[in-house]
Amino acid sequence: MNEASFVRRSERSSLGIFDLLRLPNRFLLRVLHSLVEAKENQMAIKIFKNMKSFGFPADAATYHIMIDCCSILGCYRSACALVSMMLRDGFYPLTVTYTILIKILLEDDDIEEALNLLDQASSERNELDTLLFNTILEKACEK
């Protein structure tokens, strides 16, 4: 049984969200990742919010999973809010963070802001990959 089906099954049983939060952090990460991959975004968001409200610390991987969840939902503002939380918790945006944010912007056809983020990522000495540049160029050529 994968983690996403475990969570769905636990919702139907007496096992609640608080019981999920008693699991080790590495398992919670796998649960969140599986939920996002299974497009169970609302459940992933619910678990993340409960984690934070019960004082469970999120690490960089948790933030990246949730930022990816925002990219699936196409919600740039929520992704930026997660980056803000990430910074407050002492984690700095990595190349993967910028890549996810830029892809959300490109889906919204906001090439100018995507280029601004690209500049910011570059100025912070993140190593940007060719695939990201090609993705931006393809979108720019479409316009």
Q: Which ranges in the chain belong to alpha helices (H)?
A: 3-12, 17-21, 25-37, 41-53, 60-73, 76-88, 95-107, 111-123, 130-142
Rounded to two decimals, the pTM is 0.78
- pLDDT tens for the chain, 143 residues long, are 455 554 454 444 444 554 555 555 677 788 889 999 999 999 999 989 988 888 888 889 999 999 999 999 999 999 999 999 999 999 999 999 999 999 999 999 999 999 999 999 999 988 888 888 888 888 888 87
